[in-house]
């Protein structure tokens, strides 16, 4: 469910007409619904109750500081994968004891940043990282709380570029070697073993891979406790998918996911962490664009927008589907036209959809890409010297720009011409 509905013939974000935002901000822009973000966060907290738990929002899906503050004020923790994301979480007012540091390539500088600024835990992904963290923590006279991310060799049955739990993926330590690596961690100075971490991929639409992975984690937890480790926290990752189309085929609900967690690991007495990103933010955002031209081609018509692949890369990168809808609601009897929906970038890959039925459109009309809140603005670039898209947050009947569109002077002034030129 989201809060983007037609009212009085025009698409609204909660109680704000999209056309009103477009008139003030210009297109393209991203718009997020505070009510949707709030609702989706609470779906997870309710699904895990009464287990002791923390829902850590995966910042990589949507990293605007205003959004992080909204979620942090609700009690969310944060899952970060870089020093920059750590800084964003702290800038949003999230305390260090609610920040989990994931990622395969943590640098020593990032370790120092988190250790001195406060951290809930590091999810360690390799033996070299484990030894580096021990060295950094010891040099600071501090102790680093860790889980070790295990790779359970489970096929998440998702897109190859977002699968993370198979043996050929770069993530984690093979689960068959986990006891050996945990023993090494227990011997190292500056390291405190507190739990186990697993994450098998993103946009999962079936609970079966989760169940396979979590049962393996449950067995490992029992083995590690028998080995003398105080395993008191299980980080189960994220990855629950969202519906990108308005079809009847919907991914599992957070309530079903929570029941699975209780069934597979609920008897272990561990605090449960999960790290959803897409399910909280995905359907909480739209990308809004204007039609530049309607071009009649050879055997096909093109809807050319002012948004491009640099603004929303998912269709080009993942062949991802986003529903594309007109901001002005078409009449019930309107017959759809069929367009290739494209952007202005000089690449054939700058295509959002092929042969997509959409209500007949005209130059200047507004369209909205649904389910664009996750991996939209965060993956945008200034390719073709196109300014980054502004971001807008709506709450009820008012809105605020939470990231301005940079001016061309601001973009150009970041470049420096050396004296010898």
User: Could you write out the DSSP letters of every residue in 116-173?
Assistant: HH--SEEEE-SHHHHHHHHHHHHHHT--EEEEEEEE------S-GGGB-SSTTSSSSE
- Binding site, by residue number, is 239, 275-278, 314, 318, 347, 375
- Closest by Cα among 8, 30, 35, 28 to 398: 35
Confidence (pLDDT) at 177: 93
Please tell me the distance from the alpha carbon of residue 267 to that of residue 263, in angstroms, as a whole number.
Answer: 8
What is the pLDDT, as a whole number, of residue 239? 87
What is the tens place of the pLDDT at every residue in 48-96? 999 999 999 999 999 999 999 999 999 999 999 999 999 999 999 999 9
Q: Is residue 275 very low, low, confident or very high in pLDDT (cuts 50, 70, 90)? A: very high
Residue 168 has pLDDT above 80, yes or no: no
Mark the binding-site residues for substrate, compressed into ranges: 278, 314, 318, 347, 375
Written out in words, the top-level CATH class of the domain with range 103-274 is alpha beta
- Residue 210: the pLDDT is 92
Question: Which residues carry a binding-site annotation for pyridoxal 5'-phosphate?
Answer: 239, 275-278, 375
Phi, psi of 13 (to 5 degrees): -105, 110
Burial of 405 (0-12, 13-18, 19+ CB in 10 A): middle
Helix, strand, coil shares of the chain as percentages rounded to 5? 35, 25, 40
pLDDT number for residue 228: 97
pLDDT at residue 156 above 80? no
C-alpha 40/C-alpha 10 separation (Å) is: 24
Question: How many residues appear in the chain?
Answer: 421
What's the pLDDT score for residue 172? 84
Catalytic residues, which ones? 346
Give me the percent of the chain exceeding a pLDDT of 90: 88
What tokens does 42 get?
Answer: 């609470």
pLDDT of 160 > 60? The answer is no
- pLDDT (tens digit per residue) in 121-152: 999 999 999 999 999 999 999 999 999 999 98
Q: How far, in Å, CA of 206 to CA of 96, rounded?
A: 33
Q: Which CATH architecture best describes the domain 4-31+282-412?
A: Beta Barrel (2.40)
Residue with token string 């988190």: 114
Arithmetic mean of pLDDT, 32-61: 97
pLDDT at 245: 75
The pLDDT, as a whole number, for residue 399 is 98
Instruction: State which H helix or E strand residue 209 sits in.
Output: helix 208-226
pLDDT tens digit sequence for 201-223 = 878 888 999 999 999 999 999 99
DSSP assignment letter at 96: G
Contact residues for 177 (Cβ-Cβ < 8 A; gap 6+): none
Quote the pTM value. Answer: 0.94
DSSP assigned state of 366 = E
Report pLDDT digits (tens) over 287-332. 999 999 999 988 899 999 999 999 999 999 999 999 999 999 999 8
Q: What is the DSSP letter of 10?
A: E
Say which residues have a Cβ less than 8 Å from residue 233's Cβ, sequence separation at least 6. Answer: 121, 147, 194, 195, 196, 270, 271, 272, 273
Could you tell me the two tokens for 103?
């990622």
Q: What is the dihedral of CA 199, 204, 208, 212, to 10 degrees?
A: -10
How far apart are the C-alpha atoms of 388 and 403, rounded to whole Å?
9
- For residue 2, what are the contacts with CB-CB under 8 A and spacing of at least 6? 33, 36, 283, 284, 370
Question: Where are the chain's structural domains?
Answer: 4-31+282-412, 103-274
What pLDDT score does 154 carry? 79
DSSP annotation of 103: -
* Local confidence band at 2 (pLDDT 50, 70, 90 cut-offs): confident
Cα gap 50→169, rounded to integer Å: 34
With CA atoms as reference, report the closest residue to 358 among 350, 373, 368.
368
Across the chain, mean pLDDT equals 94
Which helix (H) or strand (E) segment is 345 a member of? none
pLDDT at 200: 87
């Amino acid at each position: 469910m989201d809060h983007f509905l037609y009212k009085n013939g025009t698409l609204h974000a909660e109680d704000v007409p999209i056309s009103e935002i477009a008139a003030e901000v210009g297109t393209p822009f991203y718009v997020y619904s505070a009510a949707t973000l709030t609702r989706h966060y609470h779906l997870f907290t309710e699904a895990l109750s009464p287990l002791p738990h923390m829902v850590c929002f995966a910042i990589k899906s949507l990293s605007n500081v205003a959004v992080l503050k909204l979620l942090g004020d609700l009690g969310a923790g944060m899952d970060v994968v870089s020093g920059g994301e750590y800084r964003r979480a702290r800038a949003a007012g999230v305390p260090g004891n609610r920040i989990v540091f994931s990622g395969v390539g943590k640098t020593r500088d990032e370790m120092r940043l988190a250790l001195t600024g406060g951290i809930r835990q590091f999810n360690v992904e390799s033996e070299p990282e484990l030894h580096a963290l021990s060295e950094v923590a010891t040099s600071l006279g501090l102790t680093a709380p860790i889980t070790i991310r295990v790779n359970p060799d489970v096929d998440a049955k998702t897109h190859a570029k977002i699968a993370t739990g198979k043996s050929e993926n770069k993530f984690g330590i093979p689960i068959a070697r986990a006891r050996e690596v945990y023993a090494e961690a227990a011997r190292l100075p500056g390291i405190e073993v507190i739990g186990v971490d697993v994450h098998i991929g993103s946009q999962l639409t079936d609970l079966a891979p989760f169940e396979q992975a979590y049962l393996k984690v449950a067995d490992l937890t029992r083995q590690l406790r028998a080995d003398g480790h105080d395993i008191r926290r299980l980080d189960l990752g994220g990855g629950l998918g969202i519906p990108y189309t308005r079809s009847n085929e919907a991914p599992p609900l957070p309530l079903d996911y929570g029941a699975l967690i209780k069934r597979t690991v609920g008897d272990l007495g561990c605090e449960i962490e999960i790290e959803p990103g897409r399910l909280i933010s995905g359907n909480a955002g739209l990308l809004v664009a204007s039609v530049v031209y309607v071009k009649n081609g050879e055997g096909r018509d093109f809807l050319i927008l002012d948004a491009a692949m640099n603004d929303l890369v998912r269709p080009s990168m993942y062949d991802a589907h986003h529903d594309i809808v007109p901001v002005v609601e078409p009449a019930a009897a309107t017959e759809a036209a069929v367009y290739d929906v494209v952007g202005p970038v000089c690449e054939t890959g700058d295509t959002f959809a092929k042969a997509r039925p959409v209500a007949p459109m005209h130059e200047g009309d507004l369209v909205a890409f649904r389910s664009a809140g996750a991996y939209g603005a965060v993956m945008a670039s200034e390719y073709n010297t196109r300014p980054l898209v502004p971001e807008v947050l709506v709450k009820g009947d008012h809105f605020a720009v939470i990231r301005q569109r940079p001016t061309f002077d601001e973009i150009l002034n970041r470049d420096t011409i050396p004296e010898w030129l």
